[in-house]
Structure 1
Amino acid sequence: MNKMYIVLIAVKIGGAEKRFIDIFYELVNLNKNTFLVVSQSIADYITNELPFIHENVIILGNKQEPLLIFVIRYLHWLSKKIKEPGAYHYPINCLFFAHVFSKHQISSSFVQSDFNLSLPSLSYIKSLEYREKINACKMLVKHKLLLHCSHKVDVLNPSVYYKLIHQHPEMSKKISQTTCGTYVNLNNFLFQIDSNQLKIQNQREQNIVFMSRMIPKAKGIEDFLGIIKEVYDLIKESNFSQVKFLIAGAGPLVPEVLSQINTLNQKYSIPIEFLGYQPSVKILIQSNIFLSFQKVNNYPSRVVAEALLSGTSVIIRDNGESRLFGDPHVGIEYVNDALVPIDVSTAIIKLLRQYQQDTYFSRKIHNAAVKRFCQSDTIKYFKKLMDFEI
């Protein structure tokens, strides 16, 4: 049987990287010839957060090396494998050009929540800033090349899948949709938490968490900071005086976020704290509510699944295909895309009251999430994809 490699071209851990690490840990149980190729930075996450680092994890490079250096190291490693048959799956940043002179089978994943493979209109191009125009052109070329050069393409988001099929019906045989949305390896997840925290409600605090990459016009951090004063005032009127807002993440917006938090603290006495980058599960397991306010589409966000598995309820901005998380689903409330403060505060108060009234609310949220996000069908799907049986 040919070897199968999942290749993570990344030096920072994110939702896509976590998902495929979890998938690898299940796939290797089905096929001992499955390997995971990662940078040292990603390997550090595995070492620190998971029960063990599997012997089939191939680590290239040193700590804190930039992405370009890791790519060079990977290409050098791959050059020794050119004559060997094998299947290579790229969840992100597919390096299809590296396999031109090989007989390798190449598969890749589209993990974006939205994109277009058609040329944008002239009016739309004119509306963009110069850097945005360059990025839009880069992404268009990248996606077209990836689609044409991959033997198989896995698509995470349903709307993206249907858009691809519509725009390229001739390629429908090579395109398939991920089953069940995001996936979490339950054993790896439970290793990161104290399971008693799912049972004993009084260990949780009334923390309301916003956690994402701090990047503009995408994750909704600007929108959240814009309504937080009104939301907090409405929550106080309902006698939830112990509420605290936590913001976690890293990215270019951090200085602006810190400045706004300082203003909210000093001018309005709002209990809000910035934590920087933190392991998501360790924050979620101690909190009551997680906010997912992405601007385009929240489905199938990895951190939403992690929150629910932590027994943490989630308030989701109702846009795109966000309701595919479950409608209804234990512990999920949806709020209008406009993020009206009274709607957000009403959802928060409703969930906080459920925690008060039901000692086992966290456990119920967790159990429902296990059935939704830890399905073996996902593993079977990726095994078939990498075996080229789909």
Structure 2
Amino acid sequence: MSKYLVIASPSIGGAERRFFDIFKSMNKNKEDIYLVAPSSLLQKLDNNYKLNDKIISIELARWSYVMFCFQFYFGVVSKSSKDDTFHYPLNPPFFLHYFPIRKFSISYCYCYAKPKISLKSIGLSFQRIAGVFASKVDVLSPAVYDELKKSDKKFSLTPGGSFVDAADFNTDGKKNDVAIISRLEHGKGIDTYIKIVELLKSAELDLVQPLPKFRIYGEGTLKQRVENKVSDLSNRGVEVTYNGFASPQEILSESGVVFSLQTTTNYPSRVVVESLLSGSQVIVLNSGDTQEFGQVVGLHYLNEDLSNLVEVFNAVSIEKMSTGIKKDISEQAKVKFNSPSYLEYYKRVME
């Protein structure tokens, strides 16, 4: 029996990276698992993906969900064995599993509400419908799980939040900068980050260290607005740059402090986990169920009204980031976010 982990998404985000790491770790453990994804996503996840015979690339000149499903059905589903299983973290094409009939499971990766039928989001609609027919449903958010757990035993809560392949991260690098790694969309924290930079500039005399370099990483519909704000801040003497897309490893080798500022919740943000594994300190907006992270070395909670901004920022002095502190942050994060029990959980979900 083979397992197929299918990521029907062209862009890279926390969910895509998390499930790629799950695939890699299961593959290392000799599990009979395949990853199926569009070539545009695989190019961002792994430059050497063509060398892995367990990775099935759906070659598309440009992203089309319909064409992805067409190629996936005839190239994979129709050729699969009756005991094979499929798992869909995003945009599940449940309609492909009636002929031939194949067992499938899904994940609810949304942290703000359970999926619902909506003309505004085909992905959410498919998640909602697929949840009816899926054999098992993995739910990432504790808040969403609380809404669902009494309705059907097929639902289960992702243990411990996120999962990251710790081998991909280390504590090397200068770590002199302050950064946000985010999709440039409303609610993802970029507006709050810009406001924070402005507030820190105004409170410069109250800071225990000079203003550091501020960096913005990510892509999205607010790109032009961000570039305009960066230009304005630069003209006011703030050292801030917009750097577009870059790999987390590249970013975190330079970033001593990372912000996670999503307005709904920051649990279980992958950026938080990757930053901690890299020995960077993290400031999270205390929104929603962000407190699910608990007390973690290197993690600092910022009030939603930003009232403790100066206090928190002074507490994460980059100048005091010794090698020992960075390693302590990283080692404790490995224990929490790289547990073998996490992989065992997904093996059960995909059975």
TM-score, with length taken from structure 1: 0.83
CA gap 1:212/1:78 in 2 versus in 1, 3 angstroms: same
Partner of 2:268 in structure 1?
300
Q: CA deviation at 1:303?
A: 0.9
Pairwise CA distance, 1:338: 1.7
- Counting aligned pairs with the same residue, the percent is 27
CA distance in 2, matches of 1:10, 1:109: 14
User: How much does 1:14 deviate?
Assistant: 1.3
Q: Cα 1:143–1:258, aligned 2, differ >3 Å: closer, same or farther?
A: same
* Aligned equivalent of 1:356: 320
Summarize the Cα distance change of 1:241–1:155 in structure 2 as closer, same or farther, 3 Å threshold: same
| Equivalent residue number for residue 124 of structure 1 | none
- The equivalent position to 2:142 in structure 1, one of 154, 158, 162, is 158
- Residue 189 of structure 2 aligns with which residue? 220
Corresponding residue for 1:122? none
Answer yes or no: is 1:210 the counterpart of 2:200.
Answer: no
Give the alignment of 1:24-63 within 5 angstroms. Answer: 24-48=23-47, 54-62=52-60
What is the match of residue 221 of structure 2? 252
Aligned-partner SS, 1:347: helix
The one-letter code sitting in structure 1 at the alignment partner of 2:338 is C
User: C-alpha deviations, 1:271-303, integer Å up to 9, x for none?
Assistant: 111001111221112111000110000000111
- Alpha carbon RMSD of aligned pairs, Å? 2.4
Residues 91, 123 of structure 2: 8 Å contact kept: no
1:76 matched residue in structure 2:
74
| Structure 2 spans left out of the alignment, 5+ residues | none
Gap regions ≥5 residues in structure 1: 120-132, 198-202
Q: Which residue of structure 1 aligns with residue 129 of structure 2?
A: 145
Match for residue 234 of structure 1 among 189, 203, 214: 203
1:88 touches 1:107 (CA, 8 Å); kept in 2? yes
Tell me, what secondary structure is at the counterpart of 2:203? helix
Tell me whether 1:331 sits opposite 2:298 in the alignment: yes
Q: Secondary structure at the match of 1:80?
A: helix
Q: Which amino acid aligns with 1:145?
A: I
Structure whose alpha-carbon radius of gyration is higher: 1
One-letter amino acid of the counterpart of residue 326, structure 2: S
Deviations 1:143-185 (CA, angstroms, capped at 9, x unpaired): 431210111101111111111124xx2x2x2111111110011
TM alignment of 1:39-188, pairs within 5 A:
39-48=38-47, 54-62=52-60, 64-81=62-79, 84-116=82-114, 134-135=119-120, 141-166=125-150, 169=151, 171=152, 173-187=153-167
Looking at structure 2, the residues matched to 71 and 236 of structure 1 have their Cα atoms a distance apart, in angstroms, of 57
Q: Which has the higher helix share?
A: 1
Please say if residues 207 and 310 of structure 2, whose CA atoms lie closer than 8 Å, have aligned partners that are also in contact: no
Shift of 1:95: 0.8
The number of aligned residues is 351
Would the aligned equivalents of 1:285 and 1:311 in 2 still touch at CA under 8 Å? no
Alpha-carbon distance in structure 1 between the residues aligned to 2:321 and 2:232: 35
CA deviations 1:206-254 (Å, max 9, x no partner) are: x1101100012x1121122234222123245435225111011101000
